[in-house]
């Protein structure tokens, strides 16, 4: 079996129709496998050759009952139910004749390196693919420790200390993500009249009949953007069903559009404009190309930077949502030292809002010197240099007040540190809510402590 799997592709296929009806018994009894979709995966099925190895699988996630310590994280699991060899392909994209050679009464479970697509083509191109093929068709055991300690999963599941970078490589960024786990990321534009549909679906964790580009596939990530009236990025989701074409008149060019289900789907607690998202991701040049004119596939580097911002904006999303995050540019990027001119004099004219020092004293007396976002007392961190660093944050921005000002009390302000104060105002005129930023800080602390 090892010799046969060395050169030819192997196929991992699903056997569930409509998400509930398991067809494994029927396939094994009839000696075949069927594609449950009428308009999807046809080319993939046609490309299967006689003699290729095939396995029926089921992909899901699990948090408990794993053969390793997950430390409370959710792990990807794929159960192998049966294996066989393709004996005939009629070329219709719908059916294959298969000689099923073995059925596992108790499905064999494989972890970490999985795929949810209905039909998954795998070849021997790296150690992960080799290990899965040997596990499935040669009966070998999975080396769980090697997967746990791979850089992609090490932070959540690692059992060994992460190796330190050698001296002189402090500015080197690496992103080692398995090639087959790099999904595409699309920016998809919706009209504002669908906003309530989106909010309701995201609240339930899934969006049905979400329109996507025809090139989208299962496992791809969709960033949801509403074009009018304000043009806001409001959430994101993962495609978990093959997109299918449907007739529609609600497009610039009436005809057939492609629809799928997004699950999980998340609505941002605080939506932000595409310009804000691009600025935070350091992608001003990308934004200047007017990417909000049409739905499109994002370049890997752009997708990675945008998803980093969205991950910080949505701390409720579980870690497995980010497992397939595309890498940032090349596998390894060296950043050299470049000289920049600083210190030239520039004259500007600004208007400032007067602040009452008595309000600051009242707020410190009411709330103390500890930041109400990150729970840090600047005086304990910086000693005597942090004695007066705490700042007063207005829950209702004073920039929106009349030119004559307005009355404020300790109930309308909070005490925060300078860093958190700047972060609260990164949205522009409307600041981030205290509790929203607090959740982000706490979530990132939990990640960094693992």
Which tens digits make up the pLDDT trace of 99-115?
999 999 999 999 998 88
The mean per-residue pLDDT over the stretch 319-344 comes to: 51
Whether 149 is in a domain gets the answer yes
Predicted local confidence at residue 447, as pLDDT: 66
Q: How many CB atoms lie within 10 A of CB 323?
A: 20
Assess whether 384 and 444 both reside in one domain.
yes
In this structure, are 371 and 318 located in the same domain? no
**Over the stretch 215-236, which tens digit does the pLDDT of each residue have?**
788 778 889 888 765 678 888 8
Question: Cα separation of 99 and 53, whole Å?
Answer: 10
pLDDT given at position 180: 36
Q: Is the pLDDT of residue 30 over 60?
A: yes
Residue 338 in any domain: the answer is no
Same-domain status, 143 and 202: no
Please give the residue range of the domain that contains residue 230: 185-326
Instruction: Please give the full DSSP string across 146-171, using - where no structure is assigned.
Output: HHHTSTTTHHHH--SPPPPPPTT-TT
Taking alpha carbons only, the member of 18, 19, 97, 82 closest to residue 52 is 97
Smallest CA-to-CA distance from 194 within 150, 148, 228, 147 is with 228
Is position 177 within any domain? Answer: no
Residues 244 and 135 in one domain: no
pLDDT in tens, 143-185: 999 998 887 788 888 887 755 544 444 443 333 333 334 478 8
Which pTM does this prediction carry?
0.45
Q: Are 292 and 333 in contact (CB under 8 A)?
A: no
Q: Does 109 lie in the same domain as 227?
A: no
Q: What is the pLDDT of residue 415?
A: 92
Mean pLDDT of 67-84: 90
How many structural domains is the chain composed of?
3
DSSP annotation string for 201-255: HHHHT-EEEEEE-TT--TT-EEEEEE-SSS-EEEEEEEE-S--EEEEESSSSS-E
Cα gap 440→47, rounded to integer Å: 46
Q: Are residues 244 and 370 in the same domain?
A: no
d(CA 11, CA 54): 5
Q: Are residues 72 and 148 in the same domain?
A: yes
Do the beta carbons of residue 120 and residue 13 sit within 8 Å? yes
Q: Cα(94)–Cα(17) distance, rounded to whole angstroms?
A: 13
d(CA 401, CA 283): 32
297, 202: one domain: yes
CA atoms within 13 A on the CB side of 33: 30
Q: Is the domain of 194 the same as that of 321?
A: yes
Whether the per-residue pLDDT at 66 is higher than 60: the answer is yes
pLDDT of residue 167: 46
């Amino acid at each position: 079996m090892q010799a046969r799997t060395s050169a030819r592709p192997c196929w991992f296929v699903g056997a569930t129709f409509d998400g509930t009806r398991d067809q494994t018994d029927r396939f094994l009894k009839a000696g075949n496998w069927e594609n449950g979709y009428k308009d999807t995966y046809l080319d993939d099925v046609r490309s299967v050759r006689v003699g290729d190895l095939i396995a029926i699988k089921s992909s899901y996630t699990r948090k408990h009952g794993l053969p390793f310590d997950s430390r409370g994280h959710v792990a990807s699991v794929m159960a192998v139910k049966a294996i066989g060899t393709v004996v005939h392909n009629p070329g219709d994209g719908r059916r294959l004749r298969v000689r099923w050679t073995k059925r596992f009464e108790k499905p064999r479970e494989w972890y970490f390196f999985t795929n949810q697509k209905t039909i998954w083509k795998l070849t021997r191109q790296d150690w992960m693919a080799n290990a899965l093929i040997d596990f499935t068709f040669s009966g070998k055991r999975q080396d769980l420790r090697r997967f746990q300690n791979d850089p992609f999963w090490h932070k959540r599941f690692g059992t060994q200390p992460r190796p330190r970078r050698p001296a002189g490589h402090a500015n080197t960024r690496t992103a080692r993500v398995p090639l087959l786990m790099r999904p595409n990321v699309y920016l998809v534009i919706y009209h504002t009249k669908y906003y309530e549909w989106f909010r309701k679906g995201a609240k339930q964790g899934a969006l049905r009949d979400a329109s996507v580009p025809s090139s989208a596939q299962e496992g791809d990530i969709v960033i949801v953007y509403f074009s009018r009236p304000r043009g806001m990025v409001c959430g994101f989701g993962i495609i978990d069903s093959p997109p299918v074409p449907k007739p529609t008149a609600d497009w610039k060019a009436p005809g057939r559009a492609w629809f799928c289900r997004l699950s999980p789907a998340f609505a941002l607690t605080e939506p932000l404009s595409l310009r804000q998202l691009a600025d935070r991701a350091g992608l001003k040049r990308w934004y200047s190309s007017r990417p909000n004119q049409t739905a499109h596939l994002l370049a890997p580097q752009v997708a990675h930077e945008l998803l980093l911002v969205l991950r910080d904006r949505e701390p409720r999303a579980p870690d497995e949502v980010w497992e397939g995050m595309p890498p940032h540019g090349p596998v390894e990027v060296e950043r050299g030292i470049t000289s920049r001119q600083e210190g030239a004099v520039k004259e500007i004219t600004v208007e400032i809002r007067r602040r009452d020092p008595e309000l600051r004293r009242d707020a410190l007396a009411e709330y103390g010197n500890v930041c109400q976002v990150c729970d840090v007392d600047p005086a304990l961190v910086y000693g005597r240099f942090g004695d007066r660093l705490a700042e007063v944050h207005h829950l209702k921005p004073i920039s929106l007040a009349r030119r004559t000002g307005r009355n404020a009390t300790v109930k309308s302000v909070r005490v925060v540190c300078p860093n958190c104060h700047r972060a609260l105002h990164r949205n522009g005129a409307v600041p981030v809510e205290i509790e929203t930023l607090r959740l982000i800080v706490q979530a990132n602390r939990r990640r960094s402590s693992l």
